[in-house]
Each structure stands twice: as structure tokens, then as C-alpha cells.
């Protein structure tokens, strides 16, 4: 089985720009979640998608948005980037099962 793959692995953006991060979920997984992990902190839940609909959201502003596609892959979009958006962005997929499968993340640096 394939795992969760994320692209790109690293990215540098300028404050005010927009960014799109991509995630391919594990085969058979229909639920995708996104997390933000700042340096030295645990991952923080951004939102979750199930069957192409957002069905849960953490404490993140509307400039964080997402999509899930019919093949269950997903995108995370962040508009008007701020310096504090610099973090590791993790995608996790799941289905009916005990745990989530995480990708290795995208390291975003905002300068």
C-alpha cells in the first residue's frame, strides 16, 4: 500500500503571498486532515475533509482553506501569508481504523 505523500517538501514564500500545499492520501482512506506544527510544538489541527466536504475545523482564520478531490487527495491553501505561518504542515489520512497515517510534511518558510 502507498502511504501519504505531500508536495513540495520545502517551500519559501514572501509575506503576503499565497501558497498551495498538496497531499495524496493513503489508498482506501477517505478522510484527510491537515495540521500545522510550529518549531518545538505538537501538531495543531487545521481542518478535516470527508467526501469532499469540510467537516471539522480548528482555531485557524479563513485565509486557511482546503479542498478534497474525488480521489481523496487534498490541497491546503493559505492566503496573505504571515511570518507566523512558517511551520511544518502535515497531512493525515484515515478511514475506519485505529489510526491516522501522516505524511512527512511540507516545511514552509515565510520571509
Partner 1 sequence: DAKTTQPTSMDCAEGRAANLPCNHSTISGNEYVYWYRQIHSQGPQYIIHGLKNNETNEMASLIITEDRKSSTLILPHATLRDTAVYYCIVRVLNSGGSNYKLTFGKGTLLTVNP
Q: Choose among 96, 109, 102: nearest CA to 43.
A: 102
Task: Pick the closer one to partner 1 by CB: 22 or 58.
Answer: 58
CB of 15 to partner 1, least distance (A): 25
The answer to the question of residue 70 lying near partner 1 (CB under 8 A) is no
> In degrees to the nearest 10, what's the CA dihedral of 16, 65, 10, 106?
150
The answer to the question of residue 102 lying near partner 1 (CB under 8 A) is yes
In the complex, which residues of this chain contact partner 1 (CB under 8 A)? 4, 30-31, 33, 35, 40-45, 48, 50-51, 55-56, 58, 90, 92, 94-105
Amino acid at each position: 500500500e502507498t502511504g501519504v505523500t505531500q508536495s513540495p517538501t520545502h517551500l519559501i514564500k514572501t509575506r503576503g503571498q499565497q501558497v498551495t500545499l498538496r497531499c495524496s492520501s493513503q489508498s482506501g482512506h477517505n478522510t484527510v486532515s491537515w495540521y500545522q506544527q510550529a518549531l518545538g510544538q505538537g501538531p495543531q489541527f487545521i481542518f478535516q475533509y470527508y467526501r469532499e466536504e469540510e467537516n471539522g475545523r480548528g482555531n485557524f482564520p479563513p485565509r486557511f482553506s482546503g479542498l478534497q478531490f474525488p480521489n481523496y487527495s487534498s490541497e491546503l491553501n493559505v492566503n496573505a501569508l504571515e511570518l507566523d505561518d512558517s511551520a511544518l504542515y502535515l497531512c493525515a489520512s484515515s478511514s475506519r481504523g485505529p489510526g491516522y497515517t501522516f505524511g512527512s510534511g511540507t516545511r514552509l518558510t515565510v520571509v
